[in-house]
């Protein structure tokens, strides 16, 4: 049963495994280093959209990489030079087309946040540019001690536009360090990522070790009520984007609905 479900969700550059009941492991697998092209990001979005629409009881998901030295190398710059070609458009319409392309990419990576279950990033090796953008919508982020990060977009003349500047200010506790990293694109370690709140745990070792720890967490989450977990995820996201008073009211409404069922049966 586990194998059939995993095979259903796997695609050209995304490997999906079901290591235990209610838990999926997703491996990014675009050779040689998981650089994102349009087809890759649409496949990533398609996976989470499919999971959202299916009735399978997935309660936690771990995202990692098939390549030990790379979690994600960023944007495929060779493809990006031709992406969204606007040579036949005037400057205004060309700008609109580029904006729509960026919004589509944001929506693809943001599809993770709309999942009804927690998504845990297990980061190892190099996590560059869009690799960092990917982390914002994830619920929990663990890093192997060999992980190296860089907010790289500044080196190609762009502000990080796919998620880093929107998510990280709300996730991290040191805005001075965040700005330093965004302005310089310097490489920083897993220990430094933990220090300023990008990751919650550093696991000694590499890919195997961090995936193992992430799966332990995923199984623990999967053992809880999926109704309560979905509610908690929804309300935490709501609290990030809304005033406290609004979130309290939203929580009261949410739980008044949940209490109509036998809580013990919400598993």
Q: pLDDT tens-digit profile of 42-83?
A: 999 999 999 988 867 899 999 999 999 999 999 887 766 555
- Looking at the fold, whether 217 and 185 belong to one and the same domain comes out as yes
Distance, in Å, from the CA atom of 195 to the CA atom of 83, rounded to the nearest integer, reads 36
Q: What pLDDT was estimated at residue 167?
A: 86
Q: What are phi and psi of 188, to 5 degrees?
A: -130, 155
- Tell me, yes or no, whether 131 and 241 share the same domain: no
Confidence of residue 162 (pLDDT cuts 50, 70, 90): confident
Kindly state whether residues 213 and 230 are assigned to the same domain: no
Range of the domain at 239: 226-265
Same domain, 114 and 168: yes
120 & 243 share domain = no
pLDDT confidence band for 240 (50 / 70 / 90): confident
206 and 260 belong to one structural domain:
no
Residue 156 is encoded by which pair of tokens? 């190609």
Note whether 135 and 48 are same-domain residues.
Answer: yes
CATH code, domain carrying 201: 3.90.226.10
Final residue before a domain boundary, out of 222, 237, 252: 222
Compute the average pLDDT of residues 168-194. Answer: 92
Dihedral of CA atoms 240, 49, 261, 120 in degrees, nearest 10, equals: -60
Same structural domain, 55 and 101: yes
């Amino acid at each position: 049963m586990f194998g059939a479900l995993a095979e259903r969700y796997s695609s050209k550059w995304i490997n999906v495994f079901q290591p235990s009941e209610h838990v999926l492991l997703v491996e990014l697998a675009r050779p040689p280093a998981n650089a994102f092209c349009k087809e890759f990001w649409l496949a990533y979005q398609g996976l989470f959209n499919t999971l959202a629409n299916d009735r399978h009881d997935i309660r936690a998901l771990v995202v990692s990489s098939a390549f030990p030295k790379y979690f994600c190398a960023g944007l495929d710059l060779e493809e990006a030079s031709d992406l969204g070609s606007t040579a036949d458009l005037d400057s205004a319409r060309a700008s609109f087309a580029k904006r729509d392309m960026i919004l589509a990419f944001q929506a693809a990576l943001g599809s993770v946040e709309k999942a009804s279950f927690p998504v845990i990033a297990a980061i190892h090796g190099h996590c560059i540019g869009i690799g960092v953008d990917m982390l914002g919508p994830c619920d929990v982020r663990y890093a192997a001690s060999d992980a190296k990060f860089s907010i790289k977009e500044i080196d190609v003349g762009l502000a990080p536009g796919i998620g880093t500047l929107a998510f990280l200010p709300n996730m991290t506790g040191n805005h001075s360090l965040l700005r330093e990293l965004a302005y310089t694109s310097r490489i920083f370690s897993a220990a430094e990522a933990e220090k300023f709140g990008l990751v919650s745990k550093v696991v000694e070792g590499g890919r195997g070790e961090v995936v193992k720890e992430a799966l332990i967490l995923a199984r623990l989450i999967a053992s809880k009520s999926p109704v309560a977990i979905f509610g908690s995820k929804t309300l935490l996201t709501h609290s990030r984007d809304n005033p406290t008073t609004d979130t309290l009211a939203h929580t009261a409404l949410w739980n008044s609905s949940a209490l109509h069922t036998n809580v013990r049966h919400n598993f």
